[in-house]
């Protein structure tokens, strides 16, 4: 059974504890400002109706986490590991996922504005019914990234690579392709 947790408990009781583990928790209806969760682990956590403002999660491990109806503004996930994370009905503004390892992320009914995936590894990422504006995938490695019913505006893809399996001569062969422009990017993720 998950425990309801107030993040201000972390600020006061466990302050300055790096590598703190948030496990099997429910976090809801909170505003988090200028906090540093560097080195913390979030596992099997449900987070809803929270705002994260000027907050750092670098480097952190975030696994099996759901963010629902959350607002992220000026948040850094640089060099973080996110695995099996759901963002549902969230607003992400000025977010940095640079140099991160992102596996099995789902953005459903989200608004992403000024988000940086520069030089990140993205695997099994889904953008569903989301709006993406001013997004950088520059230098990123994209493996099975898909978009459905989503809109994209001002997307930068310089030096990004798409990885996909191709069936050739009776076997699957991995193939990395440099993305030439945003048109080829949209073709690959559709």
- Check residues 183 and 12 and name the one with the higher pLDDT: 183
Q: Looking at 6-20, 81-95, 149-163, 169-183, which range is the least confident one?
A: 6-20
- Report strand pairing: 161-168 vs 171-178: antiparallel
| CATH number of residue 133's parent domain | 2.160.20.80
Chain centroid to Cα 187, Å, comes to: 22
Domain extent at residue 153 = 3-189
Count up the domains in the chain and report the number.
1
Predicted confidence (pLDDT) at residue 54 exceeds the cutoff of 80: yes
What is the band of 185 on the pLDDT scale with cuts at 50, 70, 90? Answer: low
Distance CA(151)–CA(116), nearest Å, equals 17
Mean pLDDT score, 52-56: 94
Distance CA(50)–CA(89), nearest Å, equals 12
- Check residues 60 and 66 and name the one with the higher pLDDT: 66
What is the band of 10 on the pLDDT scale with cuts at 50, 70, 90? Answer: low
pLDDT of residue 145: 87
């Amino acid at each position: 059974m998950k425990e309801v947790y107030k993040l201000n408990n972390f600020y006061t009781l466990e302050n300055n504890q790096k590598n703190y583990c948030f496990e099997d928790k429910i976090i809801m209806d909170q505003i988090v400002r200028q906090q540093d969760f560097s080195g913390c682990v979030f596992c099997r956590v449900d987070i809803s109706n929270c705002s994260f403002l000027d907050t750092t999660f670098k480097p952190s491990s975030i696994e099996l986490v759901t963010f629902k109806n959350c607002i992220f503004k000026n948040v850094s996930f640089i060099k973080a590991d996110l695995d099996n994370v759901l963002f549902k009905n969230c607003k992400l503004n000025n977010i940095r996922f640079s140099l991160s390892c992102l596996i099995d992320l789902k953005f459903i009914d989200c608004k992403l504005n000024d988000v940086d995936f520069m030089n990140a590894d993205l695997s099994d990422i889904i953008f569903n019914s989301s709006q993406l504006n001013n997004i950088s995938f520059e230098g990123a490695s994209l493996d099975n990234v898909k978009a459905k019913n989503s809109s994209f505006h001002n997307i930068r893809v310089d030096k990004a690579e798409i990885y996909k399996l191709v069936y050739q001569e009776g076997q699957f062969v991995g193939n990395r392709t440099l993305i030439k422009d945003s048109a080829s990017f949209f073709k690959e993720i559709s």
